[in-house]
Amino acid sequence: MTSPLQPPADPQQIRDLIQGPADSEWRYEMRRDCQMIIPGLLLGPFQVSKELSKLQQLGVTHIVCIRDSKEAFSVKPRFEGHFTYLVLDVEDSEEQNLIRKFPEAREFIYGAINNGGIVLVHCNGGISLSPAFVVMFVMAHFSLSWEDALHMVQNRRYCISPNSGFLTQLKEYESIYRAQAAIQQNPGASGAPRLTRRKREEEEDEADETRYEERLPNSKRTQLDPEVVGVGLGLQLPRGTHDGDVPMDM
């Protein structure tokens, strides 16, 4: 089945995608509503998720509810009989690791849209937490820089403002998804450096052992070779004689 999220190949189409609709004019009250970021993916505040008729009108089938655990008593699924939910407890602080939480949200969004569904992603205000997840999603899917992905989402929901910690993680995630994409395109390349590095480490270990033995005093090195011990004492060991069998002068 062809994904409805097929990324455009033409650079001009990608620029148009980032720029968004030219005829849209942002108004302050629009922050209380949700906006379509790409076909099948909506971003908004918790308030929208409480309006059953609105959700049905939009054709929503799946909802990603992202909330701080302290908000769990109020920010929660309201219509579990009507929609499929994914609930993520994520602290809205600069120290919160979003990258670890993102794969679950990504798979949920893909699964919904690829099966003809429409997903609403929301947090409490739709300003910082849920937008950061949506920015990561469009960044990886459309192979964008973190800045272009942020602009793409912001050009559709102007009020978003991920906190500085989340912005840092968006920058980090760009490197992560690009590295993963490179490995998928050339899976054999990932093993070669490890083998080369392992071989080099073995050679370095052998060289270290050699240098160590060379630095040992003669008395230490000769302990390892009974024939050398014998020569050092002025003794002539018969062939096959062990150091424990060396005859002693009376």
Rounded distance, CA 28 to CA 85, Å?
28
- The residue from 34, 65, 123, 159 that is catalytic is 123
Q: Are 14 and 114 in contact (CB under 8 A)?
A: no
Q: Are 63 and 119 in contact (CB under 8 A)?
A: yes
- What are the helix (H) ranges across 72-128? 102-114
Q: Is residue 34 flagged as an active site residue?
A: no
Dihedrals φ, ψ of 34, to 5°?
-110, 160
Order across the sheet with 84-89: list the strands: 35-38, 41-44, 119-122, 62-67, 84-89
The residues annotated with a catalytic role in the active site are 123
